Amino acid sequence: MSDPREPARAPETLATLFNQRANAGDVEGLVALYEPEAVLAAGRVVATGHAEIRSFYTDLLARKSDFPAPETLPPLRTGSLAMTFAQLPKGAFSVEVAREQADGTWLWVIDQLKLAPPKD
């Protein structure tokens, strides 16, 4: 297993790092996958910037502790931008925009999470 705080060297590694850090309960590690002014939307919640994203993940990890590995598609890339996609169990999915940083690592800029519909 890789270092849990290693940076993403390619956009396709962001989902793996997310999964490792979420399962480890590492809120700060999750926040570190986003640019400082990134936007995360999940259901009715829109979190902008590290402080709001930290609050979102603190709440999420307090309620959920098991994050199965998602199915991912190869990222779509154009220059320093990439679109990533993760299909989560039970119908949820996430589409993200990642940007290459000056040091060659990748961070998410926009993260749109579509939650699974509630069961009747």
CA 116 to each of CA 4, 89, 113: distance values in angstroms, whole numbers, following the listed order: 27, 9, 9
The pTM of the full predicted model, rounded to 2 decimals, is: 0.91
Q: Which residues pair with 82 in a beta bridge?
A: 77, 98
pLDDT at 18 over 80: yes
| CA–CA separation, 52 and 39 (whole Å) | 9
* pLDDT for position 92: 85
* Fold of the 11-114 domain: Nuclear Transport Factor 2; Chain: A, (3.10.450)
pLDDT at 3 over 60: no
DSSP run (H or E) holding 15: helix 14-23
pLDDT in tens, 61-108: 999 878 888 899 999 999 999 999 999 877 889 999 999 999 999 999
How much of the chain, in percent, has pLDDT values that exceed 70? 92
* pLDDT for position 11: 97
